[in-house]
A = this chain, B = another copy of it.
């Protein structure tokens, strides 16, 4: 499963990128499955979990610490959604105490490559944006 780094590096550059052909009419259809997927990956905690996992496999408790403020319920729920979407893999080891590792799938990795620059941008611009409010 080869992921082309060049491709993502290029698309992440701050240059005008074209929308896919299917959106050439400029209309974003309402019932479209992409709306659902977009909702999952842009959910409050979804982004943070994907980001955290972009740095490598991590345990439940690691993720709890990293996504500061997340509740156990939301962590479980977010992970389940991402797993169902085929973006995250769960690996449980039958040891005591339990050890469960979460990591990105190829597809999840692909996605995180697009999310990282976005979050980095938000992080860098957040202070300016919030400060400039009337």
Contacts and interface: CB of A to CB of B under 8 A. Distances in A.
A38 interface: yes
A56 B12 CA distance: 10
Contacts of A117: 11-12, 16-17, 114
29 contacts: A3-B14, A4-B14, A5-B13, A14-B110, A15-B113, A16-B117, A17-B113, A17-B116, A18-B116, A19-B51, A19-B54, A19-B120, A20-B124, A26-B66, A28-B51, A28-B52, A28-B66, A28-B68, A33-B126, A33-B127, A33-B130, A34-B119, A38-B119, A42-B43, A86-B132, A107-B125, A107-B129, A114-B117, A115-B118
Interface of A: 3-5, 8-9, 11-20, 22-23, 26-30, 32-34, 36-39, 41-44, 47-48, 51-52, 54-57, 65-69, 84-87, 107, 109-130, 132-134
